[in-house]
A and B are shown apart, each in its own frame.
Chain A
Amino acid sequence: MVRYAKPRTVDEALGLLADGDWWILAGGTDFYPALGALPLKRDVLDINGLDELDHITVTADGVTFGARASWTRVVRAELPPAFDALKAAAREVGSVQIQNRATVAGNLCNASPAADGVPPLLALDAQVELRSIEATRRLPLADFVLGNRETARQPNELVTAIHVPGSATSGRSAFVKLGARRYLVISIAMAAANVKIGDDGAIASARMAIGACSPVARRLTALEAALVGRHADAGLLDMFDDAHFAGLTPIDDVRGTAQYRHTAAREIVGRALLAAIGANDERARAA
């Protein structure tokens, strides 16, 4: 008999995880498509009873998304402009039906290269909180998602929260999604930008991320460094250089060619940047 458990507390859940290999069921929006029409053969840990994880909390330390926080909760939360990119991504995750059930944490745990949540969270310097019966640890998002469908979560661990540090909650942000149709579409590529502009009109800091152009979405650190100190206007795109996009390894798939992704990546990163700085340019139209 396959086991099923729906604990009411995180401690209870961690106790179960310490003993056995469980398939964690949260929003269900990746669980059921993965199951398909096959019979259930794995033990299921249903975390939908963990009310303590269904929250978004804003404190001086930053913003914490409980592991059960849905995309809809993100959309409705009162959050500073640094989270506009994440909210924009939230509105693009599947459909309203999906956004109501799917969780931000689940999007990370599913570890799809095309996960819309990852670039905006990378641009927010997000950290993933993992708890086991023994310990609690926090990993930078880039260290949590390791590859296509691969994360650093150990079998005895539960992702309990995603934390955005206070240092990353200022600035303005934008998200650009590129897909072959308007709704309900897996991204060909997507980009997020988080920019702080100084009183002098120059870029004080920039965090730029691109998704679906490598097994794991990634920050464009060379570009970020090059942007700092530049005046925030549409002319920024002129300084974009191939070296800023080094390290992208897009593939050919049904949604687009690798070559296309190389070209498009640069374009949508540019558009996300223009949208984040509020440039007066038709390319500054975010998702």
Chain B
Amino acid sequence: MMLEKAPLTFTVNDKAVAVEAPPTARLSAVLRDQLGLKGTKVGCDAGDCGACTVAIDGELACACLVPVASAEGCAIRTVEGLAGETLSALQASFLRHGAAQCGICTPGFLVAAARLLEENPTPGEAAVKDALGGVLCRCTGYRKIIEAVMDTHSTSHVMGEVRPLAREEGTESHPSHRREGIAAGKAVGVPIPRLDGAPKVLGTDAFGADAFPADALAALVIRSPHWQAEFAFGDLDRFVAANPGLVAVFTAADIPGINSFGVIPPFADQPALAEGFARFRGEAVAVVVGEREAVAELDPADFPVTWQPRDHALTITEGKSAPPLHAARAGNVMAEGKVRRGDADAAVAASFVTATGRIETSYVEHAYIEPEAGAAWMDGDTLVIQACTQAPVMDRDDTARVLGLPPEKVRILPTATGGGFGSKLDLSLQPLIGLAALKTGRPVALAYTRAESMMSTTKRHPAEMQATIGAGEDGRITGMVFEGDFNTGAYASWGPTVATRVPVHASGPYFTPNYRAVGRGIHTNGPVSGAFRGFGVPQAAIMQETLYDDLAAKLGIDRLAFRLTNALRNGEPTVCGHVMESGVGIADCLEALQPHWKRACEDAEAHNRRQGHIRRGVGVASCWYGCGNTGIPNPSTMKLGITADGKLVLHQGAVDIGQGSNTVIPQICAEALGLPLSAFTLVGADTAITPDAGKTSGSRQTYISGKAAEKSGRALRETILRFANVSSDAEIGLEGRELVVRDGAASRTIDLGSLPADGDGLVFRADESYDPPTVPLDENGQGKPYAVYGWGAQIVELAVDTKLGTVDLIKITAAHDVGRAINPALAIGQVEGGIAQGIGMALMEEYVPGRTENLHDYLIPTIGDVPEIETILVEVPDPEGPFGAKGLGEHVLIPTAPAILNAIRDAAGVLVTKVPATPSRVLAAIKTKERAA
């Protein structure tokens, strides 16, 4: 079948290379697999994401669309060709500006930007956007990328030259992190560039698909093409025998353990490989394993399986009346969460004004630029799985369960993770490649295709919500009734969390004395809905915040003032009855926005005085969000120690998926310990050697793992001070193999080499855990679901083209109370990235199962779709968080979509009740209103 290989010669980064490859092989594949240049990333294999951007004879191309035959005689430049002895000015600027978060898109941006800067060393914003419009980023919101490119050749750099970092030997794929220049005990609050950033801008960071063992077998997953179907296999042995190079086919019959996984154990319901019956399109039913070239020649259509499609349900309405997908879940109700306080119905009925509405939302795809990828192999009797992930210990435990292994016989080695946003909390390929490695005894590697990633992994829940909110003549909220159904798809995943979190948060950050809210997860044969930045709260916020605009209008009160009147204050109970005596920062955020609101409203008004079809509008919305699990344990542990040869080692198990825990956690630890950041060596979340810091989810890492890091830092400091018998004011210094402790005029030197080391080689150590003090919710949802909340509010300014229904964003101003900004630069990066995702949810992102399994039909914002963002970091200290810090990661996208809808209504006079507010929907709403008038 395969094309004959041909010899080809070209240059890559000025070096002549010769390869033998099929002439139609994608250049991206040849660069990565034959030349080992893994900096060129593969995100879609269709020219939709630009991650594989290279320059060919100086002109940009998506290497995934270039036949290697066309490279013959050409000069190719990849990200690996940008740095010399030191980072290029562009790379240094990316690092300095925080333009790389997860880093998977960074090589593509760098190559494209380098091409621009050759032509135009000092480009303006429009030129940067035009040049980089073909590369997608899902983390940063693009603003820092634009800044970094524009600032590359400026002379006023904040930070000094940054040297490429060496990898720490013996830590597998984990980069070491060392940095100079931050004084001991002065790490918190400093906007240092991310500590793991240099490999990201060099293109050397190893993501899931970048470190496959050379002798690994390849795997092809056979998936259901039907929404719901019975299936039966043909002669699998004959299939293997008929295809030379194949080694085996594995099905559910081969699974040695319990073929049912799930992130919430009581709800675990998803088979790693379906057992004769598939419940959604894309569900895995078999894994074909073989030599790489043999697997590449397979067409899944030739696989011996027969399908009997069955009736299916895709919408919430269909799901409610369909036979249960899971026997124990009548009416396909997977879970229901309730919060009840006071008498909401009576309070609403007696209100001076009320507002009632319905909002519908769509499936939203995480669309990280890195599809799931990893490799598995046996190390003695231990199964090692090296893959991208947000939750290594959960991966270990669930994979062990499926494969019938004790957890300690599974070792998860997280690679760099190219974005997660919630979906990489769930198992994807781990049990599949794990099974194959376990059964064959050989390494097995797999990178999902974009289509496979989109059809088989989790989504944001589509929601159908209705609510009524009442307010008194004094402008105060009297009560709220909320009901929301969430399409949770075929399996539970994080659906129970959504059902719980939504009623807890659906009031918004406002004092709501009477409240009744229900959230339900409904099974359908749609994609599995799971965790996505905010767990249902972004959907619920659209419902509540649009009704708040109705109420303000009915009361004749300014919309921001109305929110400020009702903002929750210290000492007031939340809808769960949780009273915080300090740390409630929503009013501070809204007050910070006041001058911007006034200016924005005046600007819009001035514009609208002119006639014309472009109408300007301004909208505002708020958020609150509890950090960590809801009323259940959620601990993190941080291991910190000093070796006999003077190495300060932090086992930093809080997986950094781009959000910055590899930087923020050490900053907290350094501040608590009193040693400079430059002294730290980080060890990553290898489950064999690093304690569990929990999952990267629920905006919990800065707060919970940060708190554990603070405790470990303080404990290690205490141990050293006690050993040295000095006061708590003493300063610690690490000088080679000696610890020097200075207390006033006195100084003591501890020779680390002379002290006994433990099994980990540590002479001083601390292993501290932290678990948030929460109180479980009772049957009315009353309790203390979280110990720490974060708060925020955003203003959106936009223009609506009332003839076409298109929306142009002009500016977003975001005020977020982070308690204490451990690293202000990274915090702003989170805000901008979250806003970009909120923009997508509001205006363009609609995953239609079976129809948008690619990144050209499923649209995420490009560099031209994110307007100027002004971030105001508000710091109302939290009494519980480390150095006062609160979580931020999910909060940031919650206000964006409702603020956009409110601004569209301000501009065009119509509320769009289904998101995304596509041009079609906006114009339909305008036309409906025109007809009614």
Residues on A with C-beta less than 8 A from B134 are 94-98, 183-184
A163-200, CB under 8 A of B: which get 1 and which 0?
Answer: 00000000000000010111111101000000000000
Known interface pairs A254-B846, A254-B852, A267-B804; A185-B859 also in contact (CB < 8 Å): yes
A4 CA to B24 CA, complexed, in Å: 8
A263 CA to B919 CA, complexed, in Å: 11
B2 touches A1 (CB 8 A): yes
Interface membership of B614, Cβ < 8 A:
yes
A26-46, CB under 8 A of B: which get 1 and which 0?
Answer: 011101110011111100101
A72 CA to B859 CA, complexed, in Å: 24
B918 touches A181 (CB 8 A): no
A185 CA to B47 CA, complexed, in Å: 12
B23-45 interface (Cβ within 8 A of A): 23-24, 26, 45
A254 touches B848 (CB 8 A): yes
Closest residue of chain A to B66 (Cβ to Cβ) is A28
Which among B45, B806, B859 is the interface contact of A37 at CB below 8 angstroms? B45
Interface membership of B154, Cβ < 8 A:
no
Q: How close is B126's CB to chain A, nearest CB, in angstroms? A: 11
Known interface pairs A72-B59, A264-B919, A282-B612; A182-B851 also in contact (CB < 8 Å): no
Closest residue of chain B to A260 (Cβ to Cβ) is B920
Residues on B with C-beta less than 8 A from A36 are 45-46, 449, 451
Q: How close is B489's CB to chain A, nearest CB, in angstroms? A: 19
Which among B59, B613, B848 is the interface contact of A100 at CB below 8 angstroms? B59
**Which of B1, B65, B134 has the most chain A CB atoms closer than 10 A to its own CB?**
B65
**Which of B1, B299, B861, B919 has the most chain A CB atoms closer than 10 A to its own CB?**
B919
B642-693 interface (Cβ within 8 A of A): none
Known interface pairs A181-B864, A267-B804; A260-B613 also in contact (CB < 8 Å): no
Interface membership of A137, Cβ < 8 A:
no
A240-260 interface (Cβ within 8 A of B): 254-257, 259-260
B298 touches A28 (CB 8 A): no
B919 touches A259 (CB 8 A): no
A186 touches B856 (CB 8 A): yes
Closest residue of chain A to B923 (Cβ to Cβ) is A260
Chain A interface size band reads: 35 or more
Interface membership of B865, Cβ < 8 A:
yes
Interface membership of A268, Cβ < 8 A:
yes
Which among B130, B297, B865 is the interface contact of A39 at CB below 8 angstroms? B297
Q: How close is A33's CB to chain B, nearest CB, in angstroms? A: 4
B60 touches A100 (CB 8 A): yes
A275 CA to B60 CA, complexed, in Å: 31
Residues on B with C-beta less than 8 A from A205 are none
A32 touches B60 (CB 8 A): no
Residues on B with C-beta less than 8 A from A97 are 47, 50, 53, 60-62, 65, 112, 134
A181 CA to B863 CA, complexed, in Å: 10
Interface membership of A2, Cβ < 8 A:
yes
A39 touches B1 (CB 8 A): yes
Interface membership of B75, Cβ < 8 A:
no
Closest residue of chain B to A281 (Cβ to Cβ) is B612
Which among A48, A182, A257, A260 is the interface contact of B865 at CB below 8 angstroms? A182
A178 CA to B923 CA, complexed, in Å: 13
Interface size on B, residues (CB 8 A): 67
Interface membership of A149, Cβ < 8 A:
no
A46 CA to B131 CA, complexed, in Å: 29
A181 touches B4 (CB 8 A): no
B612 touches A96 (CB 8 A): no
Q: How close is A227's CB to chain B, nearest CB, in angstroms? A: 20
Interface membership of B296, Cβ < 8 A:
yes
Q: How close is B291's CB to chain A, nearest CB, in angstroms? A: 14
**Which of A37, A186, A263 has the most chain B CB atoms closer than 10 A to its own CB?**
A37
Interface membership of B69, Cβ < 8 A:
yes
Known interface pairs A1-B1, A95-B50, A267-B804; A181-B861 also in contact (CB < 8 Å): yes
A264 CA to B805 CA, complexed, in Å: 9
Residues on A with C-beta less than 8 A from B773 are none
A2 CA to B298 CA, complexed, in Å: 14
Residues on B with C-beta less than 8 A from A44 are 3, 23-24
A180 CA to B3 CA, complexed, in Å: 40
Q: How close is B22's CB to chain A, nearest CB, in angstroms? A: 8
Closest residue of chain B to A35 (Cβ to Cβ) is B24
Which among B23, B45, B857, B859 is the interface contact of A46 at CB below 8 angstroms? B23
B449 touches A37 (CB 8 A): yes
B830-865, CB under 8 A of A: which get 1 and which 0?
Answer: 000000000000011010100110101101011111
**Which of B24, B50, B927 has the most chain A CB atoms closer than 10 A to its own CB?**
B24
7 closest A-B pairs (Cβ-Cβ)?
A95-B134, A182-B864, A183-B133, A260-B920, A33-B46, A183-B862, A256-B920
Q: A4-B4, A29-B65 are in contact. List 12 more A-B contacts (CB 8 A).
A: A2-B1, A29-B62, A33-B65, A36-B46, A36-B449, A40-B22, A95-B133, A97-B60, A178-B806, A254-B848, A254-B851, A260-B805
14 examples of A-B residue contacts, CB within 8 angstroms = A1-B1, A33-B45, A36-B451, A95-B135, A96-B133, A98-B65, A180-B918, A181-B843, A181-B861, A181-B864, A181-B865, A183-B865, A257-B924, A264-B919
